[in-house]
Amino acid sequence: MRYVSTRGEAAPRSFEAVLLAGLAEDGGLFLPETWPTLTLAEWEALRGLPYPDLAADIIGRFTGDTFAPGVLLAMCREAYAGFTTPAVCPLVQLDERRFALELFHGPTLAFKDFALQLLGRMFDHVLARRGERITIVGATSGDTGSAAIEACRDRAQLDIVILHPEGRTSPVQRRQMTTVHSPNVRNIAVHGDFDTCQDLVKAMFNDAPFRAEMNLSAVNSINWARIAAQIPYYVASALALGAPQREVAFSVPTGNFGNVFAAWAARSMGLPISTLIIGANRNDILARFIGANDMTARPVAPSLSPSMDIQVSSNFERLLFELLGRDGAKTAATMRAFRETGAMPVPDAAWRAATALFRAHAVSDEETVAEMRRLHDQGYAADPHTAAGTAASHHSPPDDARTPIIVAATAHPAKFPDAVEQATGARPALPPHMADLYEREERFTVVPNDLATIEAAVRAHARRNM
């Protein structure tokens, strides 16, 4: 299994190289050269497997010879042993055709734990074998940061620096990051929004001397390993509802487009997915794209679902590459035009191909609150992101009324107590392992949106631990 860059200029390479590189040197994102597909019998054989075993089978189709036999399975078993439910990602029926796929039973209460609990272990394994050390830089709108820090804290062969937008995450999300005082962890609050943080991370990767000096790596979904580790829960839930004999649809609360792209990848492997519904918030660029081929970035606006407060969705580039017939030069030119003008010129045929599969709805804060309240009254506690997913599934369901809709329940309501209280009148309790979160000391520095300042902070952090 080799990987190519969406911008066509970086040399193809192995899973191990992609895991460590994060972003390609030509600025593109890595994708498998071809999609592995499963036979009917292979899908059938996965049904009913314990989640870690199923995950190891699916992820193992992407890892080539990076891990010796049995190593990936052992890592998956260890990674998911810390989840609080034996099902790991239980399906909860919401109504006749809708199911919540609960992805928030990991240590930091969001779907990010699925990939990051595994990536922490993959990094350790590969770096120990190579005798190398890396510096991870990541951007977060709230959940990636805490999951990455939890997965990477105190690991001997890496340092991690997470940029979050000052004042734009929920207090619980911020505290989950800033109260971790491990020597290899550093938190930086940036003046700006998530897009600012993500731009800074990409700028560090595109600064070749700095990238080489720091041996940079990524934990955001620009890193293909993140996407690979998010595919198995789509497979597990679809099989549980009758795939491969029956089609299913997914509704996915969407920001950086990584999670819904993992569903797209599962479909490319042959999983019968009829429809992918994008639940956005007031940051509606993806809904405008699906509705009217209008991919124009606007300033990021804060919302009740802060993790989705994103306008420039990194992983859209992966879909674009596929829609453009895997033409790296065309993808690079389109991304360049987007950066220069703020509007992405997607050819009409490519847009039409996207609309055959994707639906999208931008869910306002008012709709989010109403949906959380409606679900609460029916006995289901949803966080604001999950509510955006269920609301979008009601607004834009698949045509065939017999198709079950699986909504990705991406975070635990306790991460967003203010929004939950606004919707239901009650504040959710933090789980026992986080009960003293508000008493823990916070440590982070606030810096301006300035690449040189941030590179200096990353360098100082990494040097301290060398």
Ligand X SMILES: Cc1ncc(COP(=O)(O)O)c(C=O)c1O
Ligand Y SMILES: N[C@@H](CCOP(=O)(O)O)C(=O)O
The set of catalytic residues is 112
* Rounded distance between C-alpha atoms, residue 318 and residue 6, angstroms: 7
| Residue 390 partner contact from ligand X, ligand Y, none using kind-dependent CB cut-offs of 5 to 8 Å | none
Binding partner of residue 257 among ligand X, ligand Y, none, CB cut-off 5 to 8 Å per kind: ligand X
Contact partner at residue 172 from ligand X, ligand Y, none, CB < 5 to 8 Å by partner kind: none
Whole-number Å distance between alpha carbons of 293 and 350: 10
- The distance of closest approach from Cβ of residue 110 to ligand X in the complex, given in angstroms and rounded to an integer, is 5
Q: Is 412 in the site for ligand X (CB under 6 A)?
A: no
One-letter amino acid at 347 equals P
Residue list 235-274, contact with ligand X (CB under 6 A): 253-260
Q: Could you say which of 110, 238, 269, 271 contacts ligand X (CB under 6 A)?
A: 110
Rounded to whole angstroms, the Cα distance separating 6 from 216 reads 20
Beta carbon nearer to ligand Y, 46 or 204: 204
Tell me which residues in 290-319 interact with ligand Y (CB under 6 A): 307, 314
Q: Distances in Å between the alpha carbon of 109 and those of 13, 119, 279, 390?
A: 33, 17, 20, 19
Q: x/- site string to ligand X, residues 133 to 162, per CB under 6 A?
A: ---------xx-------------------
Q: Is 351 helix (H, G, I), strand (E, B) or coil?
A: helix
Strands 445-447 and 273-280: what pairing?
unpaired
CB 324, CB 312: distance < 8 Å: no
Residues 6+ apart with CB under 8 A from 450: none
The residues facing 449 across adjacent strands are none
> Is residue 54 within 8 Å of residue 247, measured between CB atoms?
no
Q: In whole angstroms, how close is the CB of 260 to ligand X at the nearest point? A: 6
- By rule CB under 6 A, what string of x and - marks binding of each residue 243-282 to ligand Y? ------------xx-x------------------------
Q: Residue 431 has which token pair?
A: 């789980």
Q: DSSP of 158-213, one letter per residue?
A: EEEEEEEETT-S-HHHHHHHHT---TTEEEEEESS-HHHHHHHHHHHHH-HHHHHH
With respect to ligand Y, which residue has the nearer C-beta, 91 or 218? 218
Q: How many alpha carbons fall within 13 Å on the CB side of residue 277?
A: 28
Q: What is the amino acid identity at position 250?
A: F
Answer yes or no whether residue 324 interacts with ligand X by CB under 6 A. Answer: no
Cα distances (angstroms) measured from residue 341 to each of 60, 351, 366, 383? 40, 19, 32, 35
Q: Which is nearer to ligand X, 145 or 244 (CB)?
A: 145
- CA 235/CA 174 separation, integer angstroms: 32
Q: Which of ligand Y, ligand X, none is residue 254 near (CB under 5 to 8 Å by kind)?
A: ligand X
396 interacts with ligand Y by CB under 6 A:
no
Interface residue with ligand Y, options 32, 52, 142, 404 (CB under 6 A): 142
Is 198 one of the binding residues for ligand X (CB under 6 A)? Answer: no
* Nearest approach, Cβ of residue 450 and ligand X (Å): 25
Q: How many residues of this chain interact with ligand X, rule: CB under 6 A?
A: 17
Question: Which two structure tokens, joined as six digits, stand for 50?
Answer: 């314990």
Query: Quick one: which of 66, 117, 141, 275 contacts ligand Y (CB under 6 A)?
Result: 141
Report the interface residues with ligand Y, using CB under 6 A: 140-145, 220-221, 255-256, 258, 307, 314
Report the interface residues with ligand X, using CB under 6 A: 110, 142-143, 221, 253-260, 307-308, 385, 410-411
